[in-house]
Each structure stands twice: as structure tokens, then as C-alpha cells.
Amino acid sequence: MGFFDSYFGSSTKYSKTEYPLSAEKIKELVSRYKVQSLDSTEELLVEEIVTARRRGDGKISLFQIYEVLTKLKNQNKISQVDRDGLMKVFGKTLK
């Protein structure tokens, strides 16, 4: 793992296969009960961004989720702990 991988994370481990994911399911997954490090503002922001990132057919890949979460992390809107926790939750769901 290189310097940039440790700072930005490695996106190569996330699948680009798209899966259907409803807005309701996203709301369920992006919950402070599932990712306890999230506060209510972060929770709503992540719900909005991930929902907006889906294609017109309601599909999204883990890679696309990782990209939007990393962008939020780099903008200091969520922490690395938040991003990693969310990726675990989404990873268990999108298999």
C-alpha cells in the first residue's frame, strides 16, 4: 500500500458491478444505529449524496459509493472512520 492509498484509500478493492438500491434501503443503511460515528447532519448528507449518485435505473456500485464517500471525507464533511464504517455496511449489502 502506497502513501496515497493510505491517505485516500484504495478503490481497487470495490466492485464496479451495479446493483439496485432503493432510497429507502439507503436510508436504512446510512443510519447512526449501523454507523455509530455518524451524527444526524452527516447521516442526512450521506443519504442525499448516495441517493443522487444512483443511475436513473436506481443502480449503484460499491466503487461509486466509495468515490462519493471519499469526496465527502476529503471535504471534511465525514471522517475516515465514517467512510470506512459506511463501506462495511454497504459492502455487506451489495454482494
Are 60 and 17 in contact by the 8 Å Cβ rule? The answer is no
This prediction's pTM: 0.85
What's the pLDDT tens digit per position in 1-48?
444 444 455 556 899 999 999 999 999 999 988 999 999 999 999 999
Domain extent at residue 80: 17-93
Q: Tell whether 5 is covered by a domain.
A: no
Q: Tell whether 29 is covered by a domain.
A: yes
Average pLDDT over residues 65-84: 97
- Per the structure, the count of domains in the chain is 1
Q: Tell whether 53 is covered by a domain.
A: yes
- Alpha-carbon distances of 50 from 1, 2, 47, 83, 90, rounded to whole Å: 27, 28, 5, 12, 11
Q: Tell whether 33 is covered by a domain.
A: yes
